[in-house]
Amino acid sequence: MVVSHADAHGELVELLDQHVRELVRREGVDPQRDAGLVRRIAEGVVRDHDERSLTGAVAPVPDIESVVGEIVARVSGFGPLQPFLDDPAVEEIWINDPSRVFIARNGRHELTNLMLSTAQVQELVERMLKSSGRRIDISQPFVDAMLPEGHRLHVVLEGISRGFSAVNIRKFVLRAARLHDLVELGSLTPRAALFLEASVRAGLNVLVAGGTQAGKTTMLNCLAAAIPGGERIISAEEVFELRFPHPDWVPLQTRQSGLEGTGEIKLRNLVKESLRMRPSRIIVGEVRAEECLDLLLALNSGLPGMCTIHANSAREALVKMCTLPLLAGENISARFVVPTVAASVDLVVHLGIDQHGVRRVNEIVAVPGRVENDIIETEPIFERSGGDLRRVNGMPPRPELYERVGIDVHRILNEAS
């Protein structure tokens, strides 16, 4: 019987992996919290084995560094998925079934040649959830969780998804931390970035809209980074995804119910709770349901804020903002919601992703507060035309807010780029 090189390599790694795991258990090391110590243990085990190979007692190690990396990924990381997690070009990983593992790279989908077993996927999911403190079972067949590096895990249990549990890992890839970074990436023009930064400093309410993977969270991070340091920010999210520098910021996230079915903390609870924490600004990672009403009430009371929403245009984003609050109860009517949205939202920034996978701002729209026949009026300030984001005639509402912080918004918008 001929043993292939791949089989021999697999057997060698399996043998060394078991030895490393024994030492990790014996020394009481937490493999996910102390990956550096796991690496040192693995290096020692692999080098000892390689030295023994000089006597001919065991097979030599062909590439010590590669084998050490593979063992650390298996013991301390996320096994065969770890190379994709380490690759900065990979934006998302998803598993449709063990033989079909996909990645998104530069906005495009790729089917990888990685073949997993059902047991491997189950072990990976369990390990990922262990690090997050969240769970998935028959009573809770969906889970959103944050991995140690800030990546977002979403799992749908088999039975809800047909044939096999569906796993998505959306990586946290920091390509832009401030608005001028988006200019360098080609998402924004310098003048549009300057205008958005001025609007945030002035305290306008900003709605960031777009489709999946259009860059909404990145945009929200960049906008939040422009908030003056003397203000207090409270943010509310399903799972911690926002990352921006600020000295006075309290991030909040939702919580699953426990095994007894109690203890759940919804996004709506967080929005209400944040108002009791003396915020100067409120940020909601994404509005999807009745929490939209609580956010609107906060914005309408004079508290500046920002959020994201799934929508295909700025106009659709406003329509959705008018619809979601109706989920809060039968006593909430469109007659109340529509003028409240018109009075509460100042700017809508709509993002898109082009055929080349490049994320761009498609339009920046002002909401002057007027309603005609139950339709909120808008004024485009920037529009993408012919591939370029161009200044059009609209002006932002509430010019007094810009004046209060010493900003000449007319000069920013009307000066030649």
Q: For 56-109, how does the pLDDT look when each residue is reduced to its tens digit (9 = 90+)?
A: 778 788 778 878 777 777 776 677 888 888 888 898 999 998 889 999 887 788
Q: What is the CATH number of the domain that holds 337?
A: 3.40.50.300
Confidence class for position 293, pLDDT limits 50, 70, 90: very high
What's the pLDDT at 32?
65
- DSSP string covering 179-193: HHHHHHTTSS-HHHH
Tokens 């047991």 sit on residue: 119
Residue 233 and residue 348 in one domain: yes
Lowest mean pLDDT among 83-97, 116-130, 193-207, 291-305: 116-130
Average pLDDT over residues 234-238: 94
CA 31 to the chain's CA centroid: 25
Residue 86 and residue 208 in one domain: no
In this predicted model, which residue has the larger pLDDT, 165 or 33? 165
399 Rama class: left (phi>0) / alpha (psi -120 to 50) / beta: alpha
Residue numbers of the domain that contains 336: 179-414
Of 18, 46, 73, the one marking the end of a domain is 73
Q: What is the pTM of this model?
A: 0.78
Residue 373, strand partner residues = none
For residue 266, pLDDT beyond 50: yes
What's the pLDDT at 4?
53
- DSSP string covering 148-161: TTSPEEEEE-BTTB
Residue 61 and residue 123 in one domain: no
How far apart, in whole angstroms, are the C-alpha atoms of residue 289 and residue 271?
A: 12
Residue 136 and residue 206 in one domain: no
| Rounded percentage of the chain residues whose pLDDT exceeds 70 | 94
For residue 33, pLDDT beyond 70: no
Secondary structure E strands in 52-135: 90-97, 100-105, 108-111
Residue 323 and residue 242 in one domain: yes
Average pLDDT over residues 15-22: 82
Of 44, 73, 102, the one marking the end of a domain is 73
Average pLDDT over residues 230-252: 94
The 3-state DSSP class for residue 310 equals strand
| pLDDT tens figures, 371-407 | 998 899 999 999 998 888 999 999 999 999 999 999 9
∠ at Cα 284 (279, 288), nearest 5°?
Answer: 145
